[in-house]
Structure 1
Amino acid sequence: MCRNIKMLFNFDPPVTECEIRAASVQFVRKISGFAKPSKANETAFDAAVSEIAAASARLLGAMETNAPHRNREEEMAKAKARGEARFG
C-alpha cells in the first residue's frame, strides 16, 4: 500500500473532508499508476477519487471503537521517528 496514505480513523479532532480526499487521490494514483492523468483519463480519474472519498467517509462515519482518540501530533512524531530509524 502507498506509504502516503495515512490512517484516518479515531482522531481528535475528527478527520476532515480534505484529508479523506487527499488519501483518495493517493489511492487512485497508486492503483492507476499515474500521478496526474492525461486529459483523456482525467474525468475517470476524478470520478474514481470522488467515489473512493465518499465510500471512505461512509466507512469512517460508521465505524465505532472504545479506544481513546489518537493525537495527531503524537502520531506524526511516531512516524517521524520511524522514518529517521529507517532512513537515518
Structure 2
Amino acid sequence: MCRSIKTLFNFEPPATEDEIRAAALQFVRKLSGFNKPSQANEAAFTKAVDDVTATARVLLESLSTTAQPRDREIEAHKARERSRLRFKPRPAGRAG
C-alpha cells in the first residue's frame, strides 16, 4: 500500500495520537488521490481523517500479542540501514 504509513502496533513507547492521525491522513490521501482537497471536498476529507484516526485508535487498543514490544530506536536504525543499502551510490561507469 502506501510506503509512508508505518506500523504502529506493539512499540514501546506506544504510538502517539499524532502518529495515529498522520497514518490516517496518509491513508485518506491515498484513497482519495488528494494531497490537499479542494474547499468543496475539505469537510468530507477532514471527516474521513477523523473517522480513520478513531478507528485506528480502537484497533490498536484492541490488538494483543505475546511478542515483546519493539524498540522505536532500534527499528528506526534498522530502517535507516535498509535505506542506506537500497540507495547507496553506484560506482561511476567507465568512459568508453
TM-score, normalising length: structure 1? 0.96
Q: Does 1:73 align with 2:73?
A: yes
How many residues are treated as equivalent by the alignment?
Answer: 88
CA distance, structure 1, for counterparts of residue 73 and residue 61 of structure 2: 22
- Offset at 1:72? 0.4
- Offset at 1:82? 1.2
- Offset at 1:85? 1.4
Shift >2 Å, 4+ stretches: none
The one-letter code sitting in structure 2 at the alignment partner of 1:11 is F
Give the corresponding residue for 2:23.
23
Superposed CA deviations along residues 32-74 of structure 1, whole A, max 9, x for unmatched, are 1111111111001001001111110000000000100110011
Query: RMSD of the TM alignment (CA)?
Result: 0.7
Give the corresponding residue for 1:33.
33
Q: Which structure's CA Rg is the greater one?
A: 2
SS in structure 1 at match of 2:43 = helix
The one-letter code sitting in structure 1 at the alignment partner of 2:32 is S
Higher strand proportion = 2
Give the corresponding residue for 1:59.
59
- Offset at 1:84? 1.3
Structure 2: stretches of 5+ with no match in the other structure? 89-96
Structure 1: stretches of 5+ with no match in the other structure? none
CA distance, structure 1, for counterparts of residue 16 and residue 37 of structure 2: 25
Identity across aligned pairs (percent)?
Answer: 57
